[in-house]
Amino acid sequence: MCLIKIRGIEKTYNEGMEVAITVLHEIDLNIEAGEFVSIMGPSGSGKSTLMHILGFLDLPTRGTYEFEGVDITNFSENKLADIRNEKIGFVFQAFHLLPRTTAIENVILPLIYAGVSESQQMEKAKKSLEMVGLGDRLNHTPAQLSGGQQQRVSIARALVNEPQVIFADEPTGNLDMGSSYEIMEILKELNNQGKTIIMVTHEDEIASYSKRIIWLRDGAIEKDKQNKKK
């Protein structure tokens, strides 16, 4: 099933600038449900901008976007936020954990926003942390966890609402290689379980975990190939 279909996507920034800057040019892209896609390219190629548009964190200047066969191009911010909260989980390079809050409290946060009952919050958050191997670290704060463990908490938080798509923006960028491999094995297993994974990375070794690699250059798709290693 085609999960994401974008056509003619452009993104131009001109607010407060003397000269408008276009960072994405006429992007056409289909992503099927269950794919594991890496988006690569040099600094400034538009990788994160494309991911933010795909994940409803930013709006394109031009073009159309269909999600699950529905044209969402002209949806309101609130309606896009509803889709984001129900269907999508995000993992970022910087973890974005609340520092004085335990692992399980960090994971519970999306459930509070989603209006999940208190009786279910603890059960769902605990299950999510157990899925990433942190069932024995529920009450540890970020300062009591390694970088790899903090990223696993952020993955658990991304999973807790049972999203269809995980967006991972440089998920191993702040980690040593050992922790990076652990995180990638988790993402690989989630993909094996049916989750769609869309990841931005600049590292070939990390991208090798994905099944498809898209290269951007100067805001346009330069290459789009299946990863033959998979």
pTM higher than the cut 0.85: yes
- 62 has which bridge partners? 10
pLDDT given at position 18: 76
What's the rounded mean pLDDT across residues 43-60? 93
Pick the range with the lowest mean pLDDT from 104-118, 130-144, 184-198. 104-118
Whether pLDDT at 119 is above 90: no
- 13 has which bridge partners? 21
Q: How far is CA 3 from the centre of its chain?
A: 15
Q: How far is CA 9 from the centre of its chain?
A: 19
